[in-house]
Amino acid sequence: MTFELLSKDPNSKARAGKLTTDHGVIETPIFMPVGTIGTVKGVHQRELKEEINPDIILGNTYHLYLRPGTEILKKAGGLHKFMNWDRNILTDSGGYQVYSLSANRKIKEIGVKFKSHIDGSTHLFTPESAVDIQREIGADIIMAFDECTPYPCDYKYAQRSMHMTHRWLDRCMTHMKSTSPLYGHQQTLFPIVQGSTYKDLRQQSAEYIANVGAEGNAIGGLSVGEPDDEMYAMTEVVNAILPEDKPRYLMGVGTPSNLLENIALGVDMFDCVMPTRNARNGMLFTSEGTINIKNKKWEDDFSPLDPAGYTWVDTEYSKAYLKHLFSVKELLGKQIATIHNLGFYLWLVREARRQIQAGTFRTWKDIMVKKLSIRL
Amino acid sequence: MTFELLSKDPNSKARAGKLTTDHGVIETPIFMPVGTIGTVKGVHQRELKEEINPDIILGNTYHLYLRPGTEILKKAGGLHKFMNWDRNILTDSGGYQVYSLSANRKIKEIGVKFKSHIDGSTHLFTPESAVDIQREIGADIIMAFDECTPYPCDYKYAQRSMHMTHRWLDRCMTHMKSTSPLYGHQQTLFPIVQGSTYKDLRQQSAEYIANVGAEGNAIGGLSVGEPDDEMYAMTEVVNAILPEDKPRYLMGVGTPSNLLENIALGVDMFDCVMPTRNARNGMLFTSEGTINIKNKKWEDDFSPLDPAGYTWVDTEYSKAYLKHLFSVKELLGKQIATIHNLGFYLWLVREARRQIQAGTFRTWKDIMVKKLSIRL
């Protein structure tokens, strides 16, 4: 994997870059749609590629490990072939889902023992097995196995957890080096900065992670309930330490405004279920502001979903029609809203990139953040 | 509306024809995908048009009347505009859903009083209001308001009901003549033959309907639980009486074999929820036989969904992948299966048409019916 820094915004820390892997180029800043369990919910791979057009998507190790399982994925020749997606895939390490979905999980130095949310069966994830599973999935970018601390989190716990995350990282790196990719394309591992909302812990962790010398670095443990300002403060602290010539990935973030503010602080990569999950609940991010399409006010509004036309659905369908589909709980409603929201998110990061390259990012960002706060 | 009979199969009653309305040409035999409530479930209009390519779809008056309601549809300029579908639409009269979905429905000479399955509110459908509502929906083909008798049905009831259906038809025709289309395109009404599974009643009814001189005629009250042979016997009796130079529409039918056998008996038009509903339950009609994609045997079968490739999904996705999507209950599974099944149904009627025009329909039909009975 290579990363090229193409331009920097003169009035912020925002950067435009180019990440290259065996599955092609990823132009940054990038938003990675979440393809939880081998599918971006409600979207055909062809639509994703041709209409929404992200260079990379995300898969969840925990979900894929449970179903279809690594045996099937290995037989298929990896997740790319299984789901017929020939661009990049990043997988999380499974840790986050283990903490949020499993019953009776036990975190120990060796790893995490947990019960499947599906059938209650017992499993153990270790730094080594998390690497193995991600090797078997065939992710282009593998995430280190970490503990994502909750918010709020007391200092002692955050500190202890951070140190364990660092020790787990060392085990992940060792295991990465002693194992090989299975499907003929290179895989790289991103370590993850933790430290909750404590500046000194974040600094310590960022220094530890920077010293590992990985091809890219991630910031975890944010967007877990803390106020936006605390998130931004942590990103700023960490980005001052993480190497400038490597991509920075802020995990699980966030709202459109969160993306822009963190791009301004030097973040290059994002993922979040928000555009897809909120779409399925009828919430649309549009060029004119945020819409709850379930509101009665839209029932006779026959104007296009979004005049900006980020994807074809925006002008193909009216607000009244989409409102009707949500009223009658039709599948097509979720499909339309999902394509729209992902189209909006991908437009947002592409436009951010263009503005960075034009040197106008900061002004544009401030205007956009205001626009994004409008509720229609 | 005009209907042109293009060719007749020498070895059966099968015909190939061409129906022309203000929304374009409908090549027959045709299968009409069911777009219940303003959407063919799980399919974008664009996919429907470009990939599945039916010349006409069906809408359900009962559902559309309740939601979004005719006020919204009128404001939108009719269902075509509301759902952005510029080809033909046929609507049923609402009768069938009233009988099958409503609580406390009461059938009287004036019409049917029923309670909405959504909120329990009371409504009255009459032959006149059924025409008005279909005018307001903007259907190209309007169906007469009838009573669809259940199976089995005693002779006396079937006879009484048939005569009421005939009286209702007269009221529909009178009301059609005294009202006008709302959106600038012509609308035509198809009367419906009833008479349950009684040959003499079917004959009487077919004669009554033939005398009306409508631009097309329908056969109702079949595919309600009777054995296939009884269905075919009734179709045969009725088709011997219905005029040859008008299209014949067999309502609510059926399996792929049912389509072929009835085409052989001179039917031109079909609709059924089977391809879409069964798709959502994981049942696929393929060139190799019928598949229940939920079966464990498909979990490591990485061959294409269907090598015949009726639509792009057939070669884009594997059986193993679709099985996985159904196992994890992902939306995309329903989407893929629906496109596949509709693609298969539309291929089937198009191929039937080709075989009729080539004079080889009968032989081909007999082979296909055997193939269609295979369960993989």
**Residue range B205-250, pLDDT digits in tens:** 999 999 999 999 999 999 999 999 999 999 999 999 999 999 999 9
B92 is an active site residue: yes
Contact A43, B42 (CB under 8 A): no
Which chain B residues touch A81 with a CB distance below 8 Å?
302
Q: Is A157 helix (H, G, I), strand (E, B) or coil?
A: helix
pLDDT at B102: 80
- For residue A327, which amino acid is it? S
For CA atoms B197, B201, B206, B209, give the dihedral sign. Answer: negative
DSSP characters over A117-147: TTT--EEEE-HHHHHHHHHHHT-SEEEPP--
Mean pLDDT, residues B152-165: 98
Helices A331-358 and A319-327, packing angle to 10 deg: 140
Write down the pLDDT at residue A104.
82
List the pLDDT tens digit at each of the 376 positions of chain A. Answer: 999 999 999 999 999 999 999 999 999 999 999 999 999 999 999 999 999 999 999 999 999 999 999 999 999 999 999 999 999 999 999 988 888 888 789 999 999 999 999 999 999 999 999 999 999 999 999 999 999 999 999 999 999 999 999 999 999 999 999 999 999 999 999 999 999 999 999 999 999 999 999 999 999 999 999 999 999 999 999 999 999 999 999 999 999 999 999 999 999 999 999 999 999 999 999 988 999 999 999 999 999 999 999 999 999 999 999 999 999 999 999 999 999 999 999 999 999 999 999 999 999 999 999 999 999 9
The segment(s) of chain B belonging to CATH 3.20.20.105 are 2-271
Q: What is the CATH number of domain A2-271?
A: 3.20.20.105
Q: What is the pLDDT of residue A43?
A: 98
pLDDT at residue B70, as a whole number: 98
Residue B287 confidence class, pLDDT cut points 50, 70, 90: confident
Candidates B128, B127, B100, B131; CA nearest to B114 is B100
Distance from the Cα of B327 to chain A's closest Cα (Å) equals: 8
Return the pLDDT at B103.
78
Task: Flag if A67 and B328 touch (Cβ within 8 Å).
Answer: yes
Please provide the DSSP assignment of A9-65 as one string: -TTSS-EEEEEEETTEEEEESEEE-B-TTSS-TT--HHHIIIII--SEEEE-HHHHH
Q: Which of B44, B300, B338 to mutate to test the interface with A (most CBs of A within 10 A)?
A: B44
Name the active-site residue from B9, B55, B140, B271: B271
The C-alpha atoms of residue A202 and residue A159 are separated, in whole angstroms, by 10
- A103 lies within 8 A of chain B by CB: no
- Note every long-range contact of A150-154, with CB atoms under 8 Å and residues 24 or more positions apart, other chains counting: A150/A99, A150/A224, A150/A225, A151/A196, A151/A197, A151/A224, A151/A225, A151/A226, A152/A196, A152/A197, A152/A225, A152/A226, A153/A196, A153/A197
User: Residue B20 to residues B55, B177, B303: CA-CA distances in angstroms?
Assistant: 10, 21, 41
d(CA B54, CA B41): 15
DSSP assignments along A315-364, one per residue: HHSBHHHHHHHHHTT-HHHHHHHHHHHHHHHHHHHHHHHHHHHHT-HHHH
How much is the pLDDT for B301? Answer: 98
Which among A182, A212, A194 is positioned nearest to A73, based on CA atoms?
A182
- Amino acid identity for residue B370 in this structure: K
Confidence band (pLDDT; 50, 70, 90) for B185?
Answer: very high
Q: Which of residues 307-336 of A touch B (CB under 8 A)?
A: 312-313, 316-318, 320-321, 324-325, 327-328, 330-332, 334-336
Q: Which of A9, A55, A140, A271 is catalytic?
A: A271
Q: How far is CA A251 from CA A31, A190, A191, A235, B337, in A?
A: 11, 11, 11, 11, 34
DSSP label at B87? S
Total residue length of chain B: 376
Which chain B residues are within 8 Å of A336, Cβ to Cβ? 44
pLDDT at B349: 98
Query: Would you report the helix, strand and coil content of chain B in percent, each value rounded to 5?
Result: 45, 20, 35
A285 and A345 Cβ atoms separated by less than 8 Å: yes
Length of chain A: 376
Residues ≥6 apart with Cβ < 8 Å to A135: A142, A179, A180, A181, A182, A187
Half-sphere exposure of A192 (CA within 13 A, CB side): 29
User: For residue A102, what pLDDT is reported?
Assistant: 80
With contacts defined as CB-CB under 8 Å, which chain B residues touch A37?
328, 330
Provide, for chain A, the percentages of residues in helix, strand and coil under a 3-state DSSP scheme, each rounded to the nearest 5: 45, 20, 35
A176: which residues sit within 8 A by CB, 6+ positions away? A131, A142, A187, A189
**For residue B95, what pLDDT band results from cuts at 50, 70 and 90?**
confident
Q: What angle do CA B176, B89, A298 make, to 5 degrees?
A: 100
Dist. CA B32–CA B97, nearest whole Å: 18
